Amino acid sequence: MDIELIKKRFEEDGYVFLPGFMSQEEITDVNQKLEVFIADVVPGLPANDVFYEDKNAPETLKQIMHVSEYEPSFAPMLHNSKFSEIAGQLLEDQIVPRILEYFNKPPKIGKPTPPHQDGYYFMLKPAKAVTMWMALENVDEANGCVRYVRGSHKKGMRRHGRTQTLGFSQGITDYGLPEDLENEIAFPAKPGDLLIHDSLTIHRADGNQTSDRTRRALGFIYFGESAREDVEAKAAYQAQLQKEMREKGELVAE
Ligand SMILES: O=C(O)CCC(=O)C(=O)O
């Protein structure tokens, strides 16, 4: 797909699907590096950057924040790559690479991703940011593929409230209106397929209902340089969130 078509789809729908964005060889390499990182480095990372469905069971790993900071060999992927290039083209701005994250939904217990808009977490004015999500293995309805609500990026920010989902603390409180359900589209993906969405696009995913498959992916976030972050509001929000998580025993002591 050429860049003009990618931009057109992104602007109209609020997302774009790019099959085969990374080759099988590249994905094999990424998966190998991640496996070593998860075995050797992740067990020693601070609890607020690594989430497990069950914090006493390492095999239930569900999310790793700041992957490229803890494993610098991933930094070029976020900062200087075909991912960052396309982010700049879509945002029509200089970009600020924010984070490379790892997402998993372990078999049977991997929880749903609540319906949300990333912009609610980002707190930007204007809401100029994109998120990319790349499958690291086969992802479908059964193990929890991403679902977008087409055109939702044009309808403003919805009301969000606290969820019980570790790693996705905020969800749209009235999700499920007819216009949500009519426009929701599931995106099964193969390893190397890339989804890109606007920071106002509503998205969610089901839990992993399979008994033997994980659902691994990488997430990339880019802000437009002209977007301003509300730093104070964000710090207050993060502090409140961590307090709540500590009180509920979701964060292990560091
Ligand atoms: O991995 C998922 O289920 C969803 C990820 C997500 O919400 C995001 O990348 O913005």
Tokens found for residue 127:
């809401």
Measured distance CA(117)–CA(151) in Å, rounded: 12
Q: Are 110 and 175 in contact (CB under 8 A)?
A: no
The alpha carbon of 113 and the centre of ligand 1 are apart by a number of angstroms equal to 7
DSSP H helices, the chain, are: 3-13, 24-40, 67-70, 75-79, 82-91, 118-122, 178-183, 231-247
User: The pTM is what?
Assistant: 0.92
- pLDDT band with cut points at 50, 70 and 90 for residue 254: very low
- pLDDT band with cut points at 50, 70 and 90 for residue 233: low
Q: Residue 48 carries which DSSP code?
A: G
The topology (CATH level 3) of 3-247 is Jelly Rolls (2.60.120)
DSSP H helices, 14-64, are: 24-40
Query: Ligand 1 atom 1: the closest Cα is on which residue?
Result: 103
> Nearest Cα to 142, choosing from 195, 78, 210, 80?
210
pLDDT in tens, 180-189: 999 999 999 9
> Nearest Cα to 192, choosing from 15, 68, 27, 81?
27
Q: Are 168 and 121 in contact (CB under 8 A)?
A: no
- Minimum-distance ligand 1 atom for the alpha carbon of 113: 3
pLDDT in tens, 50-98: 999 998 999 999 999 999 999 999 999 999 999 999 999 999 999 999 9
> Nearest Cα to 27, choosing from 132, 136, 100?
136
The alpha carbon of 133 and the centre of ligand 1 are apart by a number of angstroms equal to 7
**Ligand 1, from 53, 98, 113: best to mutate by most atoms within 8 Å of Cβ?**
113
The alpha carbon of 195 and the centre of ligand 1 are apart by a number of angstroms equal to 10
Query: Is 103 strand, coil or helix?
Result: strand
